[in-house]
């Protein structure tokens, strides 16, 4: 591993409600996570990111915080959390905690005081504005979950800003007292041994104080990466609330707080940005965040070698120090396995090859990477009936948008137990899809070549090869459907080659370097890879890691 673990960390995201239930109520909890930590450690990742588990009314399942410094009882208590951190550290895992610092629940004591009247001590802790001349909202800003971003409060006779649910009022980051309080929250958890924070929608924290309307999206201007094609939120350019330049100055204070705890990681979610790569680069520049992730690899379209070449070329320019965290999905996006129709149309063998290729791509890219729970099993996007939905976003926008429940169904652990070992209770909070049962952990652990075992092999190989944990990256021109890049520095270089087609392909090695090199396969990802003196032969959706010494 490189000296600074943060630059190339491999992270496993855990969604607590759906990982493991330990008490039979059908909802995953901290004790369940603690019991399953050996599984996570065996994957070969370096850290776990745990989605919110602090006290919350659960209108948005933890992303609506009622108390930043206490545990939601359905998940456990502070003693259980401390035990989880201790066990994770004993297994060599760092713990990254989700922090929702853009907004709170409307039940948070800060908001209860702020809404009481216009002259209380916390009157300016949230974003309040007078009605427009016609009595309506101050402008045309939309909430990401639908409708106006403004809600009227009878007590103050003013509107408050909520970029998400009406029950999630936005904090006023222009108020220094708010920023002081947020830093106190950070110190509380760092003092308990947390190794870093994933900062939820950190590019939303400031708003345009002029309150100018957001313009309609011009014809020909594409929607941001990861944006739903029918989502009305992206009918406008949301420049009043997303990626405001004022955000960047606020982050320096958060970084100063984190730097008092050496080795702390700040990982920012850059959400709904018009240019996700460029905006994310600004958040890690000049000593702000350590890493940022975005939706640049999350697309409704199949990958092509040319498309990936352009994406990687731009990322290398924008992130010269590899401070981008690559991910194929999180709790907010459709499952990797079910994202493209191409997957469902392939024969099982080819579909498996594609799954393994995507895993090898994730671990081969420069920078950090994040795996969402269940993607290592190849879980498909669950198709749920309306009556089974729990996500307020999906319920409000049904049937045009099905929401996020399809990627949040419980982890299948054992084929021989009720509810696949997720809970001993009568019913899990979301249904366990029948098609997930054959993909359960116990079955895949016993199968050589299963997707789970391929993830383990690739992640552990990445951990043990210095060239894959830092150094320089060189991107080569695409040859047909083959993407190739070289990782490492000094005497050891690793050539990563990916055939993005369902037909065999070859890579002419003599076209990559000016000088002659003696290549050798160091990790054969796909069966059927052949290395001749000057040519690498790749089967359909084949990939290989090749030692290319200088």
For residue 128, give the 3-state DSSP assignment: strand
269 catalytic per annotation: yes
Q: What are phi and psi of 464, to 5 degrees?
A: -95, 0
Q: What are phi and psi of 151, to 5 degrees?
A: -125, 140
CB 291 within 8 A of CB 324: yes
Task: Report the distance separating Cα 404 and Cα 335, nearest Å.
Answer: 10
Cα 405–196–372 angle (5° rounding)? 30
Task: Report the distance separating Cα 31 and Cα 48, nearest Å.
Answer: 15
Longest dimension (CA), the chain: 78
Identify the active-site residue in 200, 375, 376, 405.
Answer: 200
For residue 376, give the 3-state DSSP assignment: helix
Structure tokens at 59: 């209108």
Identify the active-site residue in 29, 98, 195, 269.
Answer: 269
8 catalytic per annotation: no
CB 279 within 8 A of CB 245: no
Task: Report the distance separating Cα 97 and Cα 420, nearest Å.
Answer: 27
Cα 148–238–206 angle (5° rounding)? 90
Q: Which residues contact 224 (CB under 8 A, 6 or more apart)?
A: 234, 272, 273, 274, 275, 276, 295
Q: How far is CA 486 from CA 306, 323, 362, 501, 516, in A?
A: 17, 18, 14, 20, 15
Q: What are phi and psi of 488, to 5 degrees?
A: 115, 180
Cα 371–373–376 angle (5° rounding)? 65
Q: How many helices (H) and strands (E) does the chain have?
A: 12, 21
In this structure, what DSSP letter does residue 293 have?
A: E
Q: What is the DSSP string of 192-249?
A: TT--EEEETTGGGS---TT-PPPPBPPTT-PPPTT--TT-GGGGB--TTTSS-THHHH
Strand 482-489 relative to strand 472-479: parallel, antiparallel, unpaired?
A: antiparallel
CB 428 within 8 A of CB 22: no
Cα 168–151–235 angle (5° rounding)? 85
For residue 191, give the 3-state DSSP assignment: helix
The strand pairing partners of 545, in sequence order, are 496, 523
In this structure, what DSSP letter does residue 435 have?
A: G
Task: Report the distance separating Cα 377 and Cα 460, nearest Å.
Answer: 17
Catalytic residues: 200, 269
């Amino acid at each position: 591993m490189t000296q600074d673990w943060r630059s190339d960390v491999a992270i496993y995201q855990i969604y607590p409600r759906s990982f493991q239930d330990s008490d039979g109520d059908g909802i995953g909890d901290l004790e369940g996570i603690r019991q399953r930590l050996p599984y996570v450690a065996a994957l070969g990742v370096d850290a776990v990111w745990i989605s919110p588990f602090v006290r919350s009314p659960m209108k948005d399942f933890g992303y609506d915080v009622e108390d930043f410094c206490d545990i939601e009882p359905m998940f456990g208590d502070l003693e259980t959390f401390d035990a989880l951190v201790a066990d994770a550290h004993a297994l060599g895992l760092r713990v990254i905690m989700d922090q929702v610092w853009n907004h709170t629940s409307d039940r948070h004591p800060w908001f209860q005081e702020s809404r009481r009247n216009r002259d209380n001590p916390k009157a300016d802790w949230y974003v309040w504005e007078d009605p427009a001349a016609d009595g309506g909202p101050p402008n045309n800003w939309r909430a990401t979950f639908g409708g106006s971003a403004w809600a009227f409060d009878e007590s103050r006779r003013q509107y408050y800003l909520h970029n998400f649910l009406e029950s999630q009022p936005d904090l006023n980051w222009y108020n220094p007292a708010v920023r002081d309080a947020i830093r106190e929250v950070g110190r509380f958890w760092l003092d308990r041994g947390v190794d870093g924070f994933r900062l939820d929608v950190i590019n939303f924290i400031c708003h345009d104080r002029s309150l100018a309307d957001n313009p309609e999206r011009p014809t020909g201007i594409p929607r941001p990466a990861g944006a739903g094609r029918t989502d009305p939120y992206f009918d406008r350019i949301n420049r009043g609330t997303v990626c405001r330049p004022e955000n960047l100055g606020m982050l320096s204070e958060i970084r100063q707080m984190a730097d008092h705890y050496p080795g702390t990681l700040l990982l920012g979610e850059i959400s709904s940005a018009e240019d996700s790569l460029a905006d994310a680069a600004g958040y890690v520049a000049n000593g702000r965040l350590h890493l940022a992730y975005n939706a640049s690899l999350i697309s409704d379209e199949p990958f092509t070698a040319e498309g990936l070449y352009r994406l990687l070329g731009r990322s290398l320019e924008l992130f010269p120090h590899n401070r981008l965290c690559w991910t194929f999905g999180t709790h907010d996006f459709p499952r990797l396995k079910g994202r493209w129709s191409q997957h469902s149309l392939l024969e099982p063998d080819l579909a498996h090859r594609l799954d393994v290729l995507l895993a090898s791509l994730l671990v081969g890219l420069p920078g950090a990477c994040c795996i969402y729970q269940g993607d290592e099993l190849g879980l498909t996007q669950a198709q749920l009936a309306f009556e089974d939905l729990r996500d307020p976003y999906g319920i409000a926008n049904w049937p045009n948008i099905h929401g996020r429940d399809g990627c949040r169904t419980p982890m299948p652990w054992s084929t021989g137990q009720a509810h696949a070992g997720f809970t001993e209770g009568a019913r899990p909070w979301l249904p366990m899809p029948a098609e997930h049962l054959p993909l359960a952990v116990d079955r895949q652990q016993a199968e050589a070549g299963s997707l789970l075992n391929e993830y383990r092999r690739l992640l552990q190989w990445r951990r043990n090869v210095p060239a894959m944990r830092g150094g320089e990256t060189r991107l080569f021109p695409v040859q047909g459907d083959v993407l190739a890049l070289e990782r490492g520095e000094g005497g050891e270089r690793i050539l990563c080659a990916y055939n993005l087609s369902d037909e065999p392909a070859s890579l002419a090695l003599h076209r990559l370097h000016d000088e002659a090199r003696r290549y050798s396969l160091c990790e054969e990802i796909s069966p059927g890879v052949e290395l001749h003196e000057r040519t690498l032969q790749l089967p359909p959706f084949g990939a290989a890691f090749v030692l290319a010494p200088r």
